[in-house]
Structures are given as structure tokens and as C-alpha cells.
Amino acid sequence: MIDPPLLLQSQNPVALRDEIQRILVTNGLDRTCYTNILDYTIELFESNGLGVNYYGYHNIVHELEVTYVTLLAAQWQSLHGKVAKEDLPYLFVAALFHDYDPQKTGERPREEDAVKFVISDEKLHLLLKEAGIDKNLVAALILRTTYPWTDEIRKNVEKQIDEYSSKSNIAKDDNKKEHFRKLGWFLSVADRIGGYALGDFVKAMEMAQKNAYTLAWHPYYIVRRSVSYFEDLLNNEAEMCQGILHSLPKEMRKNFMDNVLSFMKLREQEIQIEAALVYDNARFFANIEPISRRRDPDFVKTLAQIHEELPLPLQFKKEEFNESVMAPYTILNTLRLGSENGPIIGFAKGGPLEGYKLRPEINDPNYGMANTMFLEPIAIRVGYWGQRGGREIRLLFTMQAQAKGFKYLTSFALRDVISGRIQRGEQIEFTQPLNPEHWWNYYGIRL
């Protein structure tokens, strides 16, 4: 058996599929129809651009992680009479499809879209029929994964759950309907524990970054919203959360709690940094770094560490990062704390537009004209976002580009951030939304 943390740390869909298959067979679910349901799910996600290469939280890896954790916990609880063996097929299918949205109109999943697919897809209908699974009960379980579970949302969703339950084969059995309500709660909490129990803090932070990137959160909010997420789970879902954690292997429980504590410690560091900036009147210094310093290995190493904190799609020139820092055509400035020689906490870097491979949906008429400077996404250490240091190095970069004779500057930013800059009077000439991340825009300004 593959060690679960090692399995999921690598986010390997093939290995995940095999582990899920192993749990199914162990619990007597060894008929071909179960394998076909599993493979059909993977095929659907991959063919709709939601495979392992989709940089979003809700991709095939997340779906398989949740299925794995759900089945692992349910298997243990079935041995202790808390979950029935016949519940496992329903948890299996609901976990696989709980976030499936073939249209992908936004990163946050719409459970109604997942339910619509489960109810209407003909191939899945035949597979479920062969397995003896009532699609209406699968729909009811998926709806319960709606998050956040606020009073207003809860009232509406519970009504839908009741509607699907009344169409199912347990319509007249109140005890079974109540049992499935608890199964839905079980799935909802297993969904949120998921990958955070299957790896170290590097994986946990990557998950948080994916979520933030595709929900268009400013980096300032990543840690604080992650802490709120876990506090809600541990405080408001305590009974079910503890029950599921106790049903998982010890190392997975440790992974989850270590990751929760790491986010909380990081939040504490953020508060300490903010206090130092406010009460000690610490200042930021935006520096143009000479080429001699840019060739210093320790300097380059520091920038590379900060660069790696960015979400993967924003890490431009990742493979040749060191060379790009030292290249004479690169414009670079740093953000230092306390003095011009203080510790580096961020940087702005870029170069001529032609040195970058643009995404297919971007059509920049100045590409090839040698008149445009491209600013890579600003990189700042966790804890220092939102303190206006990024604006200082961005404006300094703009001045550097203008001094070198470039007529235009282009970059990427969140749509809301661009709107805010326009309102402040910045002369942004054009914006182009990305696909599928339409909340990120490519934009250009005349220098």
C-alpha cells in the first residue's frame, strides 16, 4: 500500500485512482461498473480542461482526494456501525462528482450544476443503474456539500435536498432520509478536510494559493481567510470534523492539524509585521539594484525564494529565473525594509515584451515592435502584502521603463485591481481578460 501522504503530496491522479480502487475492492465493491464510474469521472474532468494541469482548486486531483479521504473514513466508521456498507457506493459517486461543472463559469463550484449533470447524463445514468445506485440520493448528498452553510443558504438547499429525497427509493422511510442527511454532512466535512490531511504545509499552501488565484483574492487575504476556513470547520462543525479525523490514519490526522497550526502561526506573524509597520513606523525603500549586486548568488537566491511564493501561473521565467535576474536587458528593483540596505521583502522585475511567450488568447499589437516593457507580477513575501510596498516598486519600475525609452508597459492584474487604478487616474489604455481565469486581465499603459 502506498503511504497516503506520499501519494497525495505528488498529486498523481493515476496513483489516486488505484488507491480508491483498492478501497472499493476491499469493501466488496469489485464489480466492473464501479471501475467504469471512476474512469468515466477522470475522463470527464480531463476532457473538459479540469485535469491535473488546470491551476485551480477544484480539479480532478481535488475530486479524487475527497473521494479517497471520504472512503477511507467511511470504511473505518462502517466497522464501528456508524456508516452502513451500502452507504459506501453513494459516498463514492457523490464525492467523485460533487464539484463537477462542465461549463466552468467560475472557480467556486455550483452544486446545482453538478446535480444537473448527475441527473441528466445518460452514460452515468446507465452506470448508476447497473450499480443499483439511486441518482436522486447522489444529488441530495452533493447538494449538502454547499459551502458556506449559512442560515439563508441552508434553508434553500435543504428544500432541494428534500425534493430529491422524495423522488428516491427511500421517500417513505423517514429514518433513512435522516440517515442520508447525516451522510451529506459527513461528505461536506470530508470535502473540506480532504487534501489538507494528505501532505505537508508546502502542499497546504499550494492548495490555498490555487483557491486564492482562481477566486481572485488579493494575496493579502490568503492566510487570514484560510484561518477563518479552519476555525469554522473546527468550531462550527466540531462533532463531524472530530469524528472524521479519528476515522483517518494517525499520520493523516497529524498532517491536518499541523497544517492548521502552520496557517495560524503564519497569521500571527502577519499581525506582528503589521504591528511593527504601524507602531514602530518602519518604512519601505524601493531600490534600483546595480548589475553587480544582481550577479551576487545570495542576492539571486533571496529573490528566487520570494518568487516561489507566487502562484505557479504567475511565476514567469521560472526555469531561467537566475539568468533573467542577471541579464542586462532586465529591469529590476527591490523593496527593502527599514533602509536602503535592509532585508529584501519584495521585487519588481520585467523585460522587453518579446522575451515572453504570451498566452494564445492575448493579442497585443505591439508585440514585435520592440517598444513595450513587460512587468512580471509583483513578488512580495507573505505578511507584507497590502502595506502599499507593491505600489512603490511598481511605480518605480514604470519610471525605469520610461527612462529606457519604452513607449508602453504591459502586465497582468486582477480585474478589480485594474478598475481601482483607473479610478485613481492611471492611464490604462486596454485590458484583455484571460481564459478561463476571466478575473485576471492583461493590461497596457502608455508611458
In this structure, are residues 143 and 123 in contact, taking their beta carbons and an 8 Å threshold?
no
Nearest C-alpha neighbor of 444 from the set 426, 433, 431, 434: 431
pLDDT of residue 438: 66
pLDDT of residue 436: 65
Distance CA 109, CA 146 (A): 9
Q: What is the largest CA-CA distance in the chain?
A: 79
pLDDT of residue 54: 84
Contacts of 391 (CB under 8 A, 6+ apart): none
Residue 159 cell numbers, joined? 428544500
In this structure, are residues 389 and 333 in contact, taking their beta carbons and an 8 Å threshold?
no
- What is the total residue count of the chain? 447
Distance CA 389, CA 337 (A): 10
Give me the residues paired with residue 410 across strands.
374, 444
**Regions in the chain scoring below 50 on pLDDT:** 1-2, 5
Distance CA 232, CA 260 (A): 12
Distance CA 108, CA 211 (A): 9
Residue 292 cell numbers, joined? 553587480
CA dihedral 307, 313, 316, 318 (to 10 degrees): 70
- Domains, the chain, in order of start with CATH, read 4-268 (1.10.1300.10), 284-446 (3.40.630.30)
Distance CA 180, CA 161 (A): 10
Distance CA 228, CA 192 (A): 13
pLDDT of residue 10: 57
pTM of the model: 0.89
pLDDT of residue 108: 64
Beta-sheet pairing, 372-375 with 408-414? parallel
Residue 414 cell numbers, joined? 486582477
Query: How many other C-beta atoms can be found within 10 angstroms of the C-beta atom of residue 360?
Result: 7
